[in-house]
Structure 1
Amino acid sequence: MPRFDTVIVNGLVVTAADSAYYNIGIKDGKIEALAREFSSADLEGCEIIDAEGAYVMPGGIDGHVHLCQDLKTGPNKLGGRCSDNFETGSRSAAAGGTTTMVNFASQDRLDEADRSLIGVVQRYAARAQSTGSYIDYAFHVIITRNDPDVLQSELPVLVKEWGITSCKLFMTYDTMRLTDRQLLDVMVAARKNSVTTLIHAENGDAIEWLTEQLEARDMIAPYYHALSRPPLIEAEASNRAIALAQLVQNPILFVHIGSPMAAQNVREAQSRGLPIYAETCPQYFNLTWQDLKRFHSPTCFENSKMICSPPPPAEKNDHEALQRYLANGTFTIWSSDHCPFRYDDPDGKPAGVLEHAGSMQGESGDGHNPAAPCTSVYHEVPKEDLSRLLARKMGHFKHVPNGIPGVETRLPLLFSQGLLTGLISPSRFVELTSTNPAKLYGMYPQKGCLMPGSDADLVIWHPQATFKPFALSNSHLHHNVDYTPYEGQTLSNWPRYTMVRGKLIWSNGKIVGQLSHGNFVKRGPNSLHQRPQPFGTDLRNVATWL
């Protein structure tokens, strides 16, 4: 019997700690051995993959992915249907070097059937199982209610039986946000169960007030989405969340930090020794407010393709500030916040027109014409009719689903713009994209590293000397979205091989794996947080008596 199933040879193996030339022996989906070289007997009967001197890294772990989510909360129940399911989302992830993704199972506050968090997770698990996944996956649970009985009885079950050890809380969006009091309730319950708390930090009341002021001035085109959520909104909310977390001694991770102001809040808290972590994403390093004017004119509705929350930074010099926080360790993880909405689907970006009474005023027609009253008829609108409607309407930014695609481009963008430019080292790249997410979300050392006994999840890049840079086009990508916000960006490398538990899923530009290969990952607690009393004992800052 062969010693190994597969051996990776001639690769520059990179971990979060160091890099060196090693061969990697894989057996039964696990890393069996690393060695300078294997004997001819060791190699007999196994598949050999020659990395040709290229980087070999732990497979990417994307800790922020939205698949199969239906958030149609507009006046006419349009908008907010994520266009990727587990099949198309995992396919796109694998093509971009990601081997594990953590998806959100979202509680719907308005649906009494979603009161049970266990029921929420069961329904999302069924969605994953209905299609299968090319790569491994896990769940965060989004909590939008503070029902004491549910928090007390169900969080322990999610941790013990499902291995779901992270939850997400919102400080904005009318149907999702929690008040400060509700945040404290959930934070305390999370702390008691060693559940990592993710925070979407934006001041929802301030956003609503600013939106009303913009509406009064007829400033409703997609560009004004940015003005309704200036960086101060994120800075205030992140500062408040840090104070609440300190009060109840609860470690938190801020998702999708998009402004230097909020990053500075995180840095200051970290400097005081608090277990405050931060995630950032490619959109905050590649886009600016000007991208909300990219198409044709500032009032062109096609600019809605670029709407996400928080918005991209105002100017390019903000990119430079964020790059410093990326390099100095302030940011813990690099995720995609893949939240895909199509432009040719009424339940995608076009909801910004279809849900806006002002845009639809005076329109009339039948079920084959989008110029009909805002009803479910829009679910059957021919794409050419929808396109003609969108071309002549400005819409309203507040009805546009917030989110952009990016699970496939997450690693190549950082590799090209961070690693190859010298902004970050290869080890820091691995730390941000794989090892830290594995530790933060309780998957380490099963995931996020290259050591004997770990899952054989790897990404192997092209040899840099032979790779020809190219301009990205949506036609290169494998998601179920009709655009990419990074159209035209120059990429200087791309994953050559993606391997999940010892099986090739992506090889030389093609999906070669089985859709049924991906497994659900049962997770443990956050291993980045190990200090017993990081918040101190000063009763002026910490309610230690809790």
Structure 2
Amino acid sequence: MLSKFDLVVVNGLVVTASDISSFDIGIKDGKIHTLAPSFSSEDIGDAQVIDAEGAMVMPGGIDAHVHLCQDQKTDIGGGKCADNFETGSRSAVCGGTTTMVTFATQTRVEEDRSLLKVVEAYDARAQATGSYIDYAFHIIIVRDDKDVLEEELPVLVEKWGITSCKVFMTYETMRLQDYQLLDVMLAALKNSITTMIHAENGDMIEWLTQKLESKGMMAPYFHALSRPPSVEGEAANRAIVLAELIENPILFVHVGSSASANVIRAAQTRGLPVFAETCPQYLNLTWEDLKRFHSPTCFENSKMICSPPPSPDSSDQDALYIGLHNGTFTIFSSDHCPFKYDDPHGKMVGILDHEPSAATDGVPLTELAHKKVGRFSLIPNGIPGVETRLPLLFTRGVSTGRITPQKFVELTATNPAKLYGLYPRKGAILPGSDADLVIWHPEGALTSFKLTNEHLHHNVDYTPYEGMEFGNWPRYTICRGKVMWANDVLLGKPRDGQYLKRGPNQLGKGVAHFKKDPRRVAAWVHE
């Protein structure tokens, strides 16, 4: 019997950002076609059927902060990303993510002056391997060449659908001074491009790092001491002042501390268009995890280095969960920035660049790491997490009642789609939306397990969440109507994903009648 559907999901508890309802879902030509309390056998016909068995069915995850395929020239700390578009997207889809927004990174070398050429280069990397899931680009801007900003930003929007850029307030090779930040923000504003900000005070970090190193405090653990929460809080406050000056919407990426979250919440309360993102590492790790392996000075603790670092203790985690609950955080992303541990282009850079002769003495890297402390300031900053993002928040957030299933969908799918101009094609379960779905195991059906790196599908030789207990994991991941992951089996192919052109931010530009106080706002700039 023929069917009007290609795929039907039955007996599911459909969860959106606003509702939970029992619906069957009919999918046709890669789109959501019909939602109904139930389908008859005539409706189903010969369509493929997935029985959700009462489990939650949600929009596929959108991970809006993923680093892939970046080389030594562009990577923070001199490392090389372990994942390309194939391996990174493979890992993503096995963890319930159906769309990712990755970074095309400008550098200060002359060949990267053109933003268009940077995007073309990253597109070539994506095309070379393909992607299991749909993807888009943010552009990282580390120069304020006015001709490039004026001439190329409109082309990025029109040709590529790139409607977000990222700027840095730290890292010597990437950060912009305040006046340069204003230049980029103003150019972005004119083109309806959302400005993403890595907010850490670079001068404070450099000063603290010099003091630590002068005392011989160079082991991985001291990375955290070089970046106390006040470093992030100060930079967030300063960025808000700059953005308010020219009325520019901004998003703070990977917020890791209550110091920063409180500043952001205060700005939102005043009606400013300030958005924020946090990540799994800030809800699940602390400074103590930088002492996890063998001893506080063991180089293996480099596996936990990311920036900002996790907070000193669990009190910030409680505050960040409140931020997820009350709307301080708009989205929840992974900041998947993968570096291998046992690799001369991975975390081992912290030893090899500190003591270059060690690279030629014939000692295996793993053995070398047990003999050398290395230098934390040279260790590539970043950890893997694209596959564990959704299961971590589901297990430790939804299953414990710390956030509702609807809030989970809002943070992981619907708001990312709206913020980055993909809604309602993505992030929704509506007729006409792409049939991107994640179906969990029914409650109690999956025996809880302790995670090991062998469970995962990235190209990294460790996970920072090794040994953590998980009570659920995506049972099915469906991308545009195709079942990509089912019962622990990868079914998709590397070229199933498509590039996505995006529209502007759909979450608004702040309170329309907000008083433009000349003590804070330079409204005349736009005249």
TM-score normalised by structure 1 residue count: 0.94
Query: Aligned-pair distance for 1:248?
Result: 0.7
State the Cα distance separating 1:536 from its structure 2 match.
3.2
- How many angstroms apart in 2 are the aligned matches of 1:239 and 1:66? 26
What is the distance in 2 between the residues matched to 1:461 and 1:167? 33
Q: Distance in 1 between matches of 2:494 and 2:97?
A: 15
Once residues 340 and 460 of structure 2 are traced to their aligned partners in structure 1, the CA distance between those partners, rounded to angstroms, is 5
User: What is the identity, as a one-letter code, of the residue corresponding to 1:172?
Assistant: T
Name the structure 1 match of 2:379.
400
Residue 102 of structure 1: aligned partner: 101
3-state secondary structure, aligned to 1:257: coil
The runs of 5 or more residues in structure 2 that have no matched partner are none
Give the Cα–Cα distance (whole angstroms) in 2 for the partners of residues 301 and 176 of structure 1. Answer: 26
Instruction: Select 2:460's aligned residue among 481, 486, 498.
Output: 481
**Per-residue deviation, 1:72:** 4.5
Letter in 2 for 1:100: T
Name the structure 2 match of 1:276. Answer: 274
Deviations 1:448-474 (A, max 9, x none): 000000000000001112111111110
Q: State how far apart, in whole Å, the 2-side matches of 1:350 and 1:48 are.
A: 48
* Structure-2 separation of matches of 1:190 and 1:427: 32
Q: How far apart are the structure 2 equivalents of 1:160 and 1:400?
A: 38
**Aligned residue for 2:339?**
341
Q: Secondary structure at the match of 2:295?
A: coil
Q: Give 1:39 shift.
A: 2.5
Q: Does 1:24 align with 2:25?
A: yes
Q: Does the 8 Å contact 2:273/2:509 carry over to 1?
A: no
- What is aligned with 1:48? 49
Please tell me whether the aligned partners of residues 346 and 354 of structure 1 are also in contact (alpha carbons under 8 angstroms).
yes
CA RMSD of aligned residues (A): 1.4
- Offset of residue 533 of structure 1: 3.7
Who is 1:515 aligned against? Answer: 494
Native 8 Å contact 2:424 2:433 kept in 1 = yes
Match of 2:15 in 1: 14
1:461 equivalent to 2:453? Answer no
1:272-326 CA-partner distances (Å, limit 9, x unpaired):
0111000000000111101111111111101001000000000112211211111
User: Given the superposition, is the C-alpha separation of residues 3 and 180 from structure 1 closer, same or farther in structure 2, using an over 3 Å criterion?
Assistant: same
Aligned partners of 2:444 and 2:470: how far apart in 1? 14
Q: Any idea what the Cα deviations from partners look like across 1:128-161, whole Å, max 9, x if unmatched?
A: 0100000000000000000000000000000011
What is the aligned counterpart of 2:163 among 162, 165, 177? 165
Range with greater deviation from structure 2 (30-39 or 423-432): 30-39
Once the 2 structures are TM-superposed, how far is the Cα of residue 79 of structure 1 from its aligned partner? 3.5
Q: TM-score, normalised by structure 2?
A: 0.97
Structure 1 segment 210-225 matched on structure 2, within 5 A: 210-225=208-223
1:542 aligns with 2:524: no
| Aligned equivalent of 2:178, options 180, 197, 201 | 180
State whether structure 2 residue 82 is matched by structure 1 residue 83: yes
Identity of aligned residues (%): 65
Is this contact kept in 2: 1:536–1:542, CA < 8 A?
no
Please give the alpha-carbon distance, in whole angstroms, between the structure 2 residues aligned to 1:170 and 1:263: 18
The structural deviation recorded for 1:535 is 5.3
Question: Aligned pair count?
Answer: 524
CA contact (8 A) 2:77 2:378 kept: no
1:379 aligned residue = none
The residue aligned with 1:139 is: 137
Alignment of 1:114-513 (within 5 A): 114-357=112-355, 363=358, 365=360, 369-370=362-363, 385-513=364-492
Q: State the SS of the aligned residue for 1:169.
A: strand
Runs of 4 or more, structure 1, over 3 Å off, are: 71-74, 363-366, 530-536
CA distance in 2, matches of 1:328, 1:260: 14
Extract unaligned runs of 5+ from structure 1: 371-384
* SS of 1:167 mapped into structure 2: strand
In structure 1, the residue corresponding to 2:196 is in which secondary structure?
strand
Q: Deviations over 1:65-118 (max 9, x none)?
A: 0000114579xx984100000110000000000000000000011x21110001
CA contact (8 A) 2:74 2:107 kept: no
Who is 2:69 aligned against?
68
Kept after mapping to 1: 8 A contact 2:3/2:45: yes
Q: Is the contact between residue 72 and residue 78 of structure 1 (CA under 8 Å) also seen in structure 2?
A: no
C-alpha distance in 2, partners of 1:2/1:274? 50
Per-residue deviation at 1:40?
2.1
3-state DSSP of counterpart to 1:173: coil
Alignment partner of 2:54: what SS? coil
Measure, in 2, the Cα distance between the counterparts of 1:509 and 1:72: 36
Q: 1:23 and 1:457 mapped to 2: Cα distance?
A: 15
CA distance in 1, matches of 2:246, 2:432: 37
8 Å CA contact retained: 2:74, 2:105:
no
2-structure distance, mates of 1:78, 1:262: 24
Instruction: Work out the CA distance in 2 between the residues paired with 1:323 and 1:522.
Output: 32
Specify the code of the residue in structure 2 equivalent to 1:521.
L
CA–CA separation in structure 2 for the residues paired with 1:364 and 1:504: 45
Confirm or deny: 8 A CA contact 1:72 1:347 kept in the other structure: no
- Kept in 2, the 8 Å contact 1:79–1:349? The answer is no
Q: 1:527 to 1:534 in 2, by over 3 A?
A: farther
Partners of 1:274 and 1:534 within 8 A in 2: no
Taking structure 1 as reference, are residues 127 and 364 closer, same or farther at Cα in structure 2, changes over 3 Å only? closer
1:246–1:535 CA contact under 8 A, matched in 2: no
